[in-house]
Structure 1
Amino acid sequence: MTSYVPSLTLPAFIFEHPAASILLPVALGTGIGFSTRPDKKHHEHLALKQPPYDPPPQVFGPVWTALYATMGYTAYRAWNAGIASFDPNKLLLAKQGATLYTIQLGLNLLWMPLFFGLRRPIEATVDIVALTGVTGYLAYVWGQVDPVCGWLLAPYLGWLGFATYLSAGCGYLNNWDFKGMYSEPKTE
Structure 2
Amino acid sequence: MKKIIFFLLIMAIATIGFAQSFDKGNRNFDFKLDVAGYSGTVTDNQTKIESKSGAASIVFTPQMTWGTGKKISMGTSLAYSNYLDSAGATGSNPTLRGLDANFLFDFHFLRRPKTDMMAGLKLGIAGVRYNPNDGTGDIYGSMGSAFDLHFTARFYVSEKVGIIANLAFPKYRFGKFGKNMDYTYTINFSGFCFGTGVAINLAPKKAEGK
Confirm or deny a common fold (TM above 0.5): no
Q: From the CA coordinates, give the structure whose radius of gyration is larger.
A: 2
- Normalised to the residue count of structure 2, the TM-score between the two structures is 0.21
Higher strand share: 2
- The higher-RCO structure (CA 8 Å, 6+ apart) is 1
- Normalised to the residue count of structure 1, the TM-score between the two structures is 0.23
